[in-house]
Amino acid sequence: MIKITQKQQNILEIILKSGTMQSSAIHEEILIRGDDLSLVSVKRALSEMTVSRLLIVTGSGRSTGYKVSNLAKVFFDIDAKKYIEIEPDKRYGSNSYNFDYLSEFPADIFDETELKILDQATENYKKKTKDLPKVIEEKELQRLIIELSWKSSKIEGNTYTLLDTEKLIIDKEEAKGHDKKEAIMILNHKDAFNFIRENSSEFKILTLANLEKLHSILVKDMGVSLGIRNRIVGVTGSKYKPLDNKYQIKEAIAALSEAISRAKTPYAKALLALIGIGYIQPFEDGNKRTGRLMANALLLSHSYAPLSYRSIEESDYREAMLVFYEINSIIPFKKILIAQYEFAANNYAVK
């Protein structure tokens, strides 16, 4: 994966805020920020960033400009909370779908240190689940399903508590004073997880067929239309507008499938499913839920630990997703996935 220095990070931010820029304009912005860099130094940095594919050169001669590449966007390190504090219409991110992003997405997105953490967690998980007694496996499965169904639903605004969720799943007792659809949402999560666990061989890759099947389970009896949407959808709190053309949506799903197939590790495949399905928004509703369960399906199909998302703050999840929509940076969400995978591998024994 690409490592971006602080100086390169600063230059990328300047260009992202303004679009394509000439070296002199970039130099002026650097001076305004208080950095004492000569124009010659800035031009040298721009040349190096072009060679490393962080920048794309446009024009020639006196009209030479620089714009941020998709590779640079992937690894652009941004403070999600600080960015989201800006009012949506005043943010410098994009408001439209990036058609080239998924086709150019790198196969290797984790550095050596990150992979060491993830691989160690996987090793611990596989040792823990080897020769697991049936009774313990069933209890662990039930615990994971309860906590996954609760937290994934909570991210969507569901008001059931963890205890409410446990009673619903184990005792089939709905919590009083709650919308019926909240109970349905939780039980659909349970059914969806059981489905991907029992059919893990069907989820080695993402396909339109397994994506639509998973979505249909998650939105069953919730009044949501099935199949690729024909309607325009918006994203609350974001300037980003998803695709509104059914054929383009299908092409985007195909590009996501190809990117997932190219990914070198199950961790990268899971992360791509999480962010990619939310980014494309292929369905009328239930996209992020489908992304979270598809990530688990990909992990389980490779005998890796499934995620419960139990320890995540909903606001952190939402901010990381909005940053991806508008900036296309995976860094905030990559940190979330690493933390959640390590947590899951150390806290559950479900295979």
Report the distance separating Cα 233 and Cα 241, nearest Å: 8
CA–CA separation, 316 vs 313, rounded Å? 5
CA distance 197 to 191: 10
Q: Which residues contact 18 (CB under 8 A, 6 or more apart)?
A: 25, 29
Give the per-residue pLDDT at 155: 96
Percentage with pLDDT > 90 across the chain:
93
Closest by Cα among 301, 279, 297, 300 to 288: 279
Model pLDDT for residues 143-168, shown as the tens digit of each residue: 999 999 999 999 999 999 999 999 99
Q: Which of 58-62, 110-114, 160-164, 165-169 has the lowest mean pLDDT?
A: 58-62
Q: Using an 8 Å Cβ cutoff, are 12 and 68 in contact?
A: yes
**Residues 6 or more apart in contact with residue 314 via CB below 8 angstroms:** 154, 155
pLDDT of residue 117: 98
DSSP string for 47-101 = HHHHHTTSEEEES-GGG-EEEE-HHHHHT----HHHHHTS-GGG--S-SB--TTT
Under the banding of pLDDT at 50, 70 and 90, the label for residue 323 is very high
Task: State the residue for tokens 């050169």.
Answer: 57
Pairing of strands 55-58, 65-68: antiparallel
The two structure tokens encoding residue 162 = 């963890």
What does the pLDDT look like over 31-48, one tens digit per residue? 999 888 899 999 999 999
> End-to-end CA distance of the chain, in Å?
30
Q: Are 349 and 140 in contact (CB under 8 A)?
A: yes
pLDDT by residue (tens digit) across 63-92?
A: 899 999 999 999 999 999 999 999 999 999
Asked whether the predicted pLDDT for residue 351 surpasses 80, the reply is: no
* pLDDT for the residue 95: 95
Phi, psi angle pair for 211, to nearest 5° = -65, -50
Confidence of residue 199 (pLDDT cuts 50, 70, 90): very high
pLDDT above 80 (res 93): yes
Distance CA 12, CA 39 (A): 16
CA atoms within 13 A on the CB side of 22: 8
Domains of the chain (ranges plus CATH)? 6-77 (1.10.10.10), 102-347 (1.10.3290.10)
pLDDT band for position 132 (cuts 50, 70, 90): confident
Q: Is the pLDDT of residue 224 over 90?
A: yes
Nearest to 200 by CA among 131, 292, 298, 276: 298
